[in-house]
Amino acid sequence: MRSVYRVLAGLVAVGVVLQAMFIALGWFTAIKDMDDGLVIDKNYEGNTGHMLHGQFGMMVIPIIALLLLIVSFFAKVQGGVRWALYVVGLVILQIALAFLSFGVAPVIGALHGLNAFALAAVAAMAARRAAVTREPAVEPTTTV
């Protein structure tokens, strides 16, 4: 279970990197399309990059984070449940920031981007904690 925990936490971190790639693909494609004459208005539905970013962010990463939380109860990783809760909390915050960016103020999108770095770092730290085995402390023996 410890290795499952490590893989799931690592997948969340890799998922954040993929998210950055997807949104870059989406906007560079949109810019190229505008250069080719496409008009982006309220009817624009996005492109493959936008679609992948949305699906990964709303479905794939949250599912992996929830699986990480479930596994954390059985993985016997020191502080594993706490780190899995951090990951789930940052995923929830990430989704909330995305919705607030569209609904309230686009400037909140900057926090969405910043939180992605925090999520990647915390997920990577959780994976690292599962990779390191903690040996019980052994008292040094003294000879008299």
Closest to 47 in 3D by CA, of 70, 63, 69, 26: 26
Closest to 131 in 3D by CA, of 63, 75, 74: 75
Reported confidence tier of residue 134, pLDDT bands at 50, 70, 90 = low
Is residue 120 in a domain?
A: yes
Structure tokens at 12: 């969340």
Task: Give the pLDDT of residue 138.
Answer: 64
Task: Give the pLDDT of residue 45.
Answer: 86
Task: Give the pLDDT of residue 76.
Answer: 92
Q: How many helices (H) and strands (E) does the chain have?
A: 5, 0
Is residue 141 in a domain?
A: no
Task: Give the pLDDT of residue 136.
Answer: 58
For the segment 19-60, what is each residue's pLDDT rounded down to a tens digit? 999 999 999 999 999 999 999 998 888 899 999 999 999 999
Question: 109: domain range?
Answer: 2-131
- Number of domains observed in the structure of the chain: 1
Task: Give the pLDDT of residue 137.
Answer: 57
For the segment 58-93, what is each residue's pLDDT rounded down to a tens digit? 999 999 999 999 999 999 999 999 999 999 999 999
Is residue 121 in a domain?
A: yes
Q: What is the distance, to the nearest Å, from the Cα of residue 46 to the centroid of all Cα atoms in its chain? A: 22
Task: Give the pLDDT of residue 90.
Answer: 98
Averaged pLDDT for residues 97-113: 94
Is residue 98 in a domain?
A: yes
Is residue 8 in a domain?
A: yes
Q: What is the distance, to the nearest Å, from the Cα of residue 29 to the centroid of all Cα atoms in its chain? A: 23
Reported confidence tier of residue 132, pLDDT bands at 50, 70, 90 = confident
Residue with tokens 């052994």: 138
Give the burial string for 44-75 (b: 16+ CB within 10 Å, else e): eeebebbebbbebbeebbbebbebbbebbeeb
Q: What is the pTM of this model?
A: 0.87
